[in-house]
Amino acid sequence: MSRIALFKKAVHDHYQTNRRELPWRRTRDPYTILVSEVMLQQTQVARVIPKYRAWLDRFPDIAALAEAEPEDVLRAWQGLGYNRRAKALWELARIVTERHQGRLPSSAAELKVLPGVGGYTASAVRVFAADEPLVLIETNIRRACLHHFFPRQAEVPDQELAPILAQALLGEDPREWHYALMDYGAHLGLALKDRNPNRRAAGYRTQSRFKGSVREMRGEILRRLLAGSRSVKEFAGDDRGRAALEALAKEGMIRIAKGKISIISSST
């Protein structure tokens, strides 16, 4: 049996008895799939599930999201971190409403230029919404491929994984195959916790410390603004606070004028 065949057998054997039942796997709606993919970019599945459900209750479609105020969008996002993702989704909804009649484009090439999307997310939407036979490489898929095909090689670029994954995809249902790959890779993440294969990826980076970081302060500022705080003095007392305010303003998340801070509005 070839290495590809052995790899596929391992993936299928695990999936048959350990398939994860996740809410975004029950739909083929491109918008709801996009929401799940953006939420999952930097956040663990267990944290995403309740926020995903609440988000869709509040913004069930692109029109509802496009009509919302950014403050409401950021409030719905609280608890997921990396708040720029929420702003990007809101901007995307407005662009799609204005330029695409409220429907997400039907090609990965058009999707990937929208705010907050990029190449992987665009392809994932097309795979999971329309069964397009596109190769996906994300954390869990990368881990599975590195474990089976590069057990001792370091600094492995995704360009070396893509042809292997393309060959493994042949003859498979793209949607189910990628679900199976992700579930298998997630399993390996637990089974190989102390020797994570992803450390051998060329792009592997350890995450910077969150506690005491500017990133932590950015989230704290938005939380306080959503709770009613408005004074610059409350946050600008040290270098970290000033850096966080500057970054949020530069990204268009907040406005600062006359010593007061406000979250951007739809009319800004």
3-state SS assignment for residue 60: coil
CB 154 within 8 A of CB 200: yes
Sequence letter at residue 147: H
Query: 96 burial class (0-12, 13-18, 19+ CB within 10 angstroms)?
Result: buried
* Vertex 162 angle, CA 33 and 104, to 5°: 25
Is 37 in the active site? Answer: yes
Residue 257: alpha-carbon gap to chain centroid: 32
Cα(6)–Cα(250) distance, rounded to whole angstroms? 50
User: Which residue is catalytic, options 37, 67, 110, 251?
Assistant: 37
What DSSP assignment string belongs to 85-149? Answer: HHHHHHHHHHHHHHHSTTS--SSHHHHTTSTT-HHHHHHHHHHHHH--------HHHHHHHHHHH
- Return the H-helix or E-strand segment holding 260: strand 260-263
What six digits make up the tokens of 11? 């993936």
Q: Which residue numbers are catalytic?
A: 37
